[in-house]
A and B are shown apart, each in its own frame.
Chain A
Amino acid sequence: MKISPQWVREFVELAVDDRRLAEDLTGVGIAVEGSSGSGADTVFEMEIGTNRPDAMNHYGVAREAAAIYDLPLKQLSGLGDSGAKAQSNFREPNAALKRRSSTVHDAAGTKTSAAKAASSTASDGTTEVVPFPSVSSSAVSSHDASFPIAVEEPQLCPRFTARVIRGTMIKPSPEKIARRLRLLEQRPISNAVDATNYVLWEMGKPTHVFDMDLLEGGRLIIRRARNGEKLKTLDGVERSLISEDLVVADAKKAVGLAGVMGGYDTMITDKTRNILIESAWWDPLTVRKMSRRHGLHTDASHRFERGADFESTILSCDLVAALILESGGGELVGDAIDVVSRKMDQAPVVLRLAEVQRILGGNLSTREILRILKKLGFTAIPEGQADMQFYVTAPSWRLDVEREIDVIEEIARLHGYDKFENTLPAYSGAVVELPHAAMDATLRERALALGYNEAVSLTFISHADAEMFSSAKVLELENPLSEEASVMRTSMGPGMLDMLAWNLNRDSENVRLFEMGRVYEMAGGERVEPTRACLGATLAAVKGSLLAGGALDVSTGKHAVVAEAFRSFKGDVENLLAPFAYVELTFDRETSEYFHSGRSARALMDGAVVAQFGQIAEDVKSQRKLRQDVFLAEIDLERLHTRGLRTVRFKAPGKYPAVERDFSFVFADVVEFEAMRRAVTGLGMGALRSFTPVEIFRGGSIGAGKYSILLRARLQSDEGTLRDEQIAVWSGELVRALQGLGGVQRA
């Protein structure tokens, strides 16, 4: 919203410069976010909270300024003086117009039919008001000002005020008006339309002007729209209405969407001579719903849905009338037509000084409190003798102030937040960590130590990815940002693969990333947000972390490279799982389809799946245009959380020397190391400390479909030094166990 400080200065005589004014307004919450232009053309860019529609105009800002500097605020004058001025300027020269307008009035023949219509609607309990006789203004014409207004929805339109001008001329606004509107980036249209816009920016009350001659039937009705009723609004769009819409209508048709936008067919044109000015107070919720339903957010709806000033309908009509008369001439017909169906009730609030102290702290004097309230237009009447509490009534433009705390905020705001002393409260509670904090921190530290950069990806994925990466029921977005981001992620996989692709597309070949976060699923009709950790690495990075000389598979050819790379990535997963409490960690091949079927595994802790990891399937790689083989690990933190972290129990290193024995075997490819490990550990040798593969080789003299493996057993006893005979016996058992798997021992 834009504000011209020059315009503000018309209402309050400010001694400070614009820069200081901006700072001080910002200090009381009427935030000036920026300033452009200079001198009289300076414009403030304002940021005003949704609760302060009263300050979304120049007079409202002036009111705040007057309160800040304790200066008098000039009264806004409607027709009191400027109306008189208009008359003295224009009445005589426009005698011809006056005649013409009265002709139109008569020709339309509205007077009698309107009266009939009004009496017919009066019987069904709706409000009908006979216009007041003209009394106050000297600009009133001798014509009968009668223009019946029937309010069928008094709850939604508690007040409807109108004024009639006859015999005016439509032309461009005077330069002063046009210039100000342009300064606020408003486009000047014509004197009558500009008058409503000018008044809106001047004092905040939206108004509307009709070409009165286009109002059929000589009356207005405030009613619900009929389902399917058509209304072409000022923006030229023909809208189809529903019965929840509230309209201003003439005897035949809707002529305006209440509080949102006027109708096209009754708008002011060059030919307009007779004008009806509308200034109403509309139910905020009704306006808001209509504005949303029709996608029409206007300066008027913005203010009505936040609550306009109920008491300013007459004043705003007068201000608009004065501007029209001043520029276009003509006559004001009769007095304001003011239909009040319901008074806005602003009950006084009890303000207790003790409560001010309890909420704000510090030591505000009663005098300061009362001074602030008075400056803002509030009245405060002491209750009882002790001056400990007051009945405070908010001004009509402050519909946001309804409770004691609202009044307290006003006091704090004008006193100045920075003037309150900074204090630290005492506390008797204790700091508690979330139950999984230590586990998550451990996992994170390990991932970082393993060289994985911590990443954060967006939580949305596409339907296609959701289908591919999870069988969980998805949470779909009603209003997604794009098709690719239309569901909440059910897997961290797609995000991780996208990040890997991003890097590969930018010539970063050596990439290791991890992410910890939630996935979002529907389970049993309820939403759940299980936490996951995800590792991603490019083949280059995985190979890069192989230890020099640490290769197990020493064969030449691609298979060995792949096998070693897998083992390298698996080691990272094992390192992440190691700190958790479990007896046995096993692996199987039951991974999801997006993994390479031969190069991926699931990790099971005591039989429960905790992770799946490995190389990504070829088709997924090509679909996602990954320029390199990549590895992915998905770790189920929910499962890990149930286990907790392992507590270290110290075990003394053996006192007696350990003995290592190597066994060289040839096995068929189908026999995996795990089978050997099970066979050997199954022997129940108490002295077997470890059983590990040392070297694997394929090719050469080893036949196709077979491989040679060098296995190492480490034996150690707690009772004494192992004797050679005992070792020989165990070695024999071990060899037989391996032979039982089809292994052939090599010399």
Chain B
Amino acid sequence: MAYTVSKLTDYSSNALLKAFGEAKLAFREELRGASSPAGWKAVRDRWMARKNGILTQINDRLMAAPKEAKREIGQYLNDLKQFVEKEIETWQEHEEGSVGKLAPLFQSVDITLPGIRRPIGAEHPVIKTTNEMVRVFQKLGYSVADGPVVETDYYNFEALNFPPNHPARDTQDTLFIAGQQGKAQRERLLLRTHTSPVQIRTMETMRPPIRILIPGTVHRNDPPDASHSPMFHQIEGLAVDTNITFGDLKGTLDHAMKEFFGSSVKTSFRPSFFPFTEPSAEMFVSCFICGGSGRRGAEPCRPCKQTGWIEILGCGMVDPNVFQFVKDNGYDPKKVSGFAFGMGADRIALLKYGVDDLQLFFQGDVRFLGQWA
């Protein structure tokens, strides 16, 4: 079993290659067979000993080789020596690394088996999106504000320049609280249809200048489907100061969108209508999915309906009528101006993560939520 140095009669290159190859394999086998420190030390000594070690024996045997083969033999011999030394060295390092315990190479583990993962909870994509947006605006000087979900008609509509019976109220699909008939209209309770009432509540308590961001839950009487939910999330912003202009509104949102979606997105503003802002606008960002081309390879880009633009939010300059409701707290529309904006956090999360059904956000399905872990 143990290797012995055989006599060589053929000194051709092929014969030498074969002979030295056999010696290498034999050495490796012996080393692997060793299962204790004493064992591998014995293997080392048998091969490397100056006196009568196998390497020495080979060297001695080859003294008889013809002169013309000596040079080649020298190279093979050197190579074998280095191989043996290297193997022994690796072996030794490995052994010294394991704490007093022999861990033979052949006992290595299957590193391709899956790791044991302690469960880590996943952030909800809508809340994650909201928090990211909040951070973007905090860096621009915005503080988070909040307010009640069950609102009065006054804050949800009247003070936002939706007069009683105004057709603009129709677009809000409001859910009302029962049993309010006995109250004056402005006192009647409803589920806020937007986070905008917090604009009024904040301006009632804080004097200008202000910069606030209002993330929150809102409700509409929309039966659930792939793109509607009776409950969803908005992120509202408001900035009021002396000399806030429409250019400031555009610049702020353009900056925020680049921060959120990436510096390559562009913004575009189109006229729109909201009772509480004037001028009012809808803001689009260049499609961050297709890069604004409207196509993804050969396929049309669905998220932007091939237009290259995606509608993200509604915004505008605060209507002077809104300021009239909080005029006494320093919001004289002759002296201050401001802008407001509002976006759907759920919609942005849908677009950002390519989710195709809004209902998935509200089912608590771990197969869905776990994807954000």
Contacts and interface: CB of A to CB of B under 8 A. Distances in A.
B245 A358 contact: yes
A488 B148 CA distance: 13
Interface string B255-294: 1000000000000111111000011110000000000000
B317 A359 contact: yes
Interface residues of A, number: 88
Interface stretch (A70-78, A168-176, A429-437, A551-559): A429-437
Nearest to A427: B141
Nearest to A434: B144
A429 B141 contact: yes
Nearest to B346: A456
Interface in B123-155: 123-124, 126-127, 138, 141-146, 148-150
B143 A477 contact: no
B267 to A, nearest CB: 8
Interface residues of B, number: 80
Contact of B176 (A406, A423, A478): A478
A428 B244 CA distance: 13
A477 B246 contact: no
A506 B367 contact: yes
A305 B175 CA distance: 23
A529 B138 contact: no
Name the residue in A27, A431, A433 with the highest tally of chain B Cβ atoms < 10 Å from its Cβ: A431
A417 B148 contact: no
A625 interface: no
Interface string A399-431: 000010110110011000110111111011111
Contacts of A418: 268-269
A425 B369 contact: no
Contact of A425 (B148, B229, B252, B365): B252
Interface string A20-47: 0000001111010000000000000000
A457 B171 CA distance: 25
B226 interface: no
Contact of A412 (B167, B189, B279): B279
B362 A457 contact: yes
B361 interface: yes
A485 B179 CA distance: 17
B245 A423 contact: yes
A288 B165 contact: yes
Contact of A359 (B121, B246, B251, B363): B246
B189 A458 contact: no
Contacts of A520: 149-150
A360 B168 CA distance: 25
A541 B370 CA distance: 14
B361 A29 contact: no
A670 to B, nearest CB: 36
Contact of B366 (A305, A496, A503, A527): A503
A230 interface: no
B278 A409 contact: yes
B121 to A, nearest CB: 4
Contact of A422 (B148, B165, B189, B254): B254
Contacts of A431: 138, 141-143
Interface stretch (B24-32, B58-66, B209-217): B209-217
Nearest to B209: A429
Contacts, number: 241
Contacts of A360: 245-247, 279
A667 interface: no
A449 interface: yes
Contact of A451 (B119, B148, B189, B221): B119
Interface stretch (A510-518, A592-600, A700-708): A510-518
B362 A456 contact: yes
A699 interface: no
B241 interface: yes
B243 A412 contact: no
B200 to A, nearest CB: 17
A361 interface: yes
A361 B246 contact: yes
B364 A499 contact: yes
B366 A433 contact: no
A413 B365 contact: no
B178 A478 contact: yes
B297 interface: no
Nearest to A27: B270
B119 to A, nearest CB: 3
A49 B314 CA distance: 13
Nearest to A476: B178
Contacts of B177: 475-478
A458 B231 CA distance: 6
Contacts of B273: 29, 49-52
Nearest to A437: B144
Interface string A335-374: 0000000000000000000000011111000000000000
B247 A459 contact: no
B209 A428 contact: yes
A590 B250 CA distance: 56
A447 interface: yes
A414 B126 CA distance: 36
Interface in A432-469: 432-434, 437, 447-460
A358 to B, nearest CB: 6
Contacts of A545: 119
B175 A479 contact: yes
Contact of A477 (B175, B317, B366): B175
A319 to B, nearest CB: 26
A361 B189 contact: no
Interface string A314-329: 0000000000000000
Given A306-B167, A358-B337, A429-B141, A451 B319 contact: no
Nearest to B121: A448
Contacts of B176: 477-479
Max chain B Cβ within 10 angstroms of own Cβ: one of A458, A520, A545: A458
A422 B178 contact: no
Nearest to B148: A529
A285 B163 CA distance: 11
A518 B149 contact: yes
Contacts of A689: none
B148 to A, nearest CB: 6
A729 interface: no
Contacts of B120: 448-449, 451
B100 interface: no
Contacts of A289: 165
A264 to B, nearest CB: 27
A660 to B, nearest CB: 27
Contacts of A500: 364
A51 B277 CA distance: 13
Contact of A456 (B118, B126, B146, B224): B126
B244 A459 contact: no
A429 B248 contact: no
B304 interface: no
B320 interface: yes
A479 B221 contact: yes
A227 interface: no
Given A433-B143, A503-B364, A427 B165 contact: no
Given A49-B273, A503-B364, A527-B148, 19 more contacts: A50-B168, A360-B245, A405-B278, A413-B271, A417-B246, A417-B250, A417-B268, A418-B268, A425-B241, A427-B209, A431-B142, A451-B119, A454-B369, A459-B149, A460-B231, A476-B177, A481-B175, A481-B221, A488-B150
7 A-B pairs with least C-beta separation: A29-B271, A499-B364, A361-B245, A49-B273, A451-B119, A361-B247, A422-B251
Interface of A: 26-29, 31, 49-52, 285, 288-289, 305-306, 358-362, 403, 405-406, 408-409, 412-413, 417-418, 420-425, 427-434, 437, 447-460, 475-481, 485, 488, 496, 498-500, 502-503, 506, 508, 510-515, 517-518, 520, 527, 529, 541, 544-545
16 contacts: A361-B248, A362-B246, A409-B279, A425-B248, A429-B209, A429-B210, A431-B143, A448-B120, A451-B118, A453-B370, A454-B121, A454-B127, A455-B364, A458-B230, A475-B189, A510-B366
